Amino acid sequence: MQTGSIRVQTENIFPIIKKFLYSDHEIFLRELVSNAVDATQKLKTLSSLGEAKGDLGELKVTVTLDKEAGTITISDKGVGMTAEEVEKYINQVAFSGAEEFVQKYKGQNENTIIGKFGLGFYSAFMVSKKVEVITKSFKDSPAMRWECDGSPEYQLEETNLRTERGTDIVLYVDEESKEFLEDERLKGILKRFCRFLPVAIFYGEEQINNTQPLWVRKPSELTAQDYQDFYKELYPFSDAPLFWIHLNVDYPFNLTGILYFPKIKQSYEIQKDKIQLYCNQVFVTDEVKDIVPEFLMLLHGVIDSPDIPLNVSRSYLQGDPNVKKINAHITKKVADKLDEIFRNERKEFEEKWESLGLFVKYGMMTDDKFLDKANKFHILKATDEATFYTLEEYRNATEVLQKNKEGKLVLLYTSNAVEQNTFIKGAAAKGYKVVELGTMVDSAFINHMEMKWENVVFRRVDADIADNLIDKQDDLKSVLSEDETKQLKEWFNLQLTDLHLNVEVKGLSVDAPPVIATRPEMMRRMKDMAHMSGPMGSFYAQMPDEVELTVNGNHPVYRTILSADNKEKGKEMVHNLADLALLSQGLLKGSQLTEFINRSVTLMQGPASSVLTADV
């Protein structure tokens, strides 16, 4: 039996690095600048322990572009390297100096060391035909110059090109990567990936980073204006946020950050991927769906954690218990913050509900733990625009009038207070309380909450006549004869291409409208969901709308219509009444609306004594 070690073929490693190390070649700059920051942070640590002697001087990283020479240089004033360290950390692929340093000095701010993968330096070869390293250690040793053209061969020699402690990485950019020799391109990459690194980063004479972003500072030191200003720094063209949550956890995982609730005036303004993930102040990605709960992807801000496991490119999350713990912690922090604001500043909470409601409802549908907490601060806006109810408050206010025969609370709502105004007034006349549920998430929210909330059913205010919204009521006696009822039902039973009418003649109050158009709750919900489900729901979406026409046989207008000599004109009057009812539901469109207008004009041209008007 033979045993041994598997070895990497060095002849093959550079082509693989060049092509596959990172999916996005611009990452090279982040990796090299991060390495330079690591070298600087190491020096600070060694100095604090008394292992690095003398004045450290101005510690910064400088990126220099020489377009004419075709080079990009990353310079630092950190620990530098001896010849032995160059041999160890540069010539042995994937041996991470940062990882070894962390192990040796564990407990000495090891979280400030960024690079723990060992391949970051080799990202230079993704864009370079040659890489040169000029370095001088903080120890008493000569400066060294290392050069490699991407082949397995390299040169290492003493040099006098550098007399001060630190390292220069010089990239000789290849023909395929000339885009990185453009000033704005290079600056844009630096500002994206390095804007919050903990060591000053200079591009030429300009410092491009903020070394003390808000999330690394103590909340007790910060004012509301500080948070507002930092939000502007992150999102220069956005409105001021509603409020924010400062995350600061050091056990059982490390997590810092600031999450902002943005102002959302319209549902279509929702934008995801606005939360930025950092690892020790190095930008990683803005795709954080595994760390942040799905419903909080609508938030803005930053989170920073050295405990989130990342692959070599730091761009994709890997499965890990810490990710789940962080996800749960963020959910809890958001729920606790919302509950605190609701309890202590309810009026302000209600004023911001238009934006907050989207987050809360989305969370209640997707996270049961959040739902349990949110039941206390989810509020329902009444149609009078002045009153808000929690579910419990709504239940207490409507216990007597809005509990059906099955003992369930009937929660009446409107999806459009303007279009459904007639029905809202009819419900209000009965003493019912109607709330507004008209956002893009409410149709799904209603269906979900009927399964989650015990003994609660939702009913849109135009799903039936006001008398029947809670329970079906016995009809009043109609003044119409059997023949008159049959005649009226025939005239109302119109044949419409995109609507299916179910006509009933009932005895209602004389004060009720002459005819009321309603759309049964469940049938309408199916249609609404079909419209939102894309191609899969197109079959249901194209089916004719089911509409209930409830004709009030006790309304005096029908006595006039039925007793008139001109039956054709009576039919037209009935058609107009039906159209008015459909118009109130937004169901009269296109050619049918045009016919209604023309018919109305014709009817008004007759003798004044024969003109009938009706208010539906």
The sheet carrying 515-518 orders its strands as: 499-506, 545-552, 515-518
CATH number of 378-468: 3.40.50.11260
Buried b (16+ CB within 10 A) or exposed e, 456-480: bbbbbbbbbbbbbbbeeeebbebeb
pLDDT for residue 17: 60
CA distance 554 to 515: 11
End-to-end CA distance of the chain: 95
pLDDT for residue 117: 36
Residues of the chain with pLDDT under 70: 1-23, 92-119, 265-273, 309-320, 475, 527-544, 606-616
- The 10s digit of each residue's pLDDT in 457-481 is 999 998 888 888 898 877 677 888 8
pLDDT for residue 319: 62
pLDDT for residue 94: 44
Q: Check if the beta carbon of residue 328 is closer than 8 Å to that of residue 368.
A: no
The letter for the amino acid at 220 is S
Classify 551 as helix, strand or coil. Answer: strand
- The 10s digit of each residue's pLDDT in 590-604 is 888 888 888 888 888
CA distance 249 to 247: 6
pLDDT for residue 528: 67
pLDDT for residue 115: 44
Q: Check if the beta carbon of residue 581 is closer than 8 Å to that of residue 516.
A: yes
pLDDT for residue 466: 86
Residue 303's closest CA among 324, 328, 286, 322? Answer: 286
pLDDT for residue 62: 98
CATH number of 10-207: 3.30.565.10
The letter for the amino acid at 171 is L
**Is 214-342 the same fold as 10-207?**
no
Centroid of chain to Cα 580? 41
Contacts of 281 (CB under 8 A, 6+ apart): 196, 197, 198, 213, 216, 304
CATH second-level architecture of 482-610? Up-down Bundle (1.20)
β partners of residue 381: 388, 436
The letter for the amino acid at 594 is T
CA distance 518 to 515: 10
pLDDT for residue 100: 55
Phi-psi category of residue 532: left, alpha or beta, with phi > 0 → left and psi -120 to 50 → alpha: alpha
pLDDT for residue 358: 86
Task: Give the domain 214-342 fold.
Answer: Ribosomal Protein S5; domain 2 (3.30.230)
CA distance 28 to 176: 14
| Boundaries of every domain in the chain | 10-207, 214-342, 378-468, 482-610
- The 10s digit of each residue's pLDDT in 509-568 is 787 888 888 887 777 777 666 655 555 445 555 566 788 888 888 888 888 888 877 888
**What's the token pair of residue 3?**
């045993």
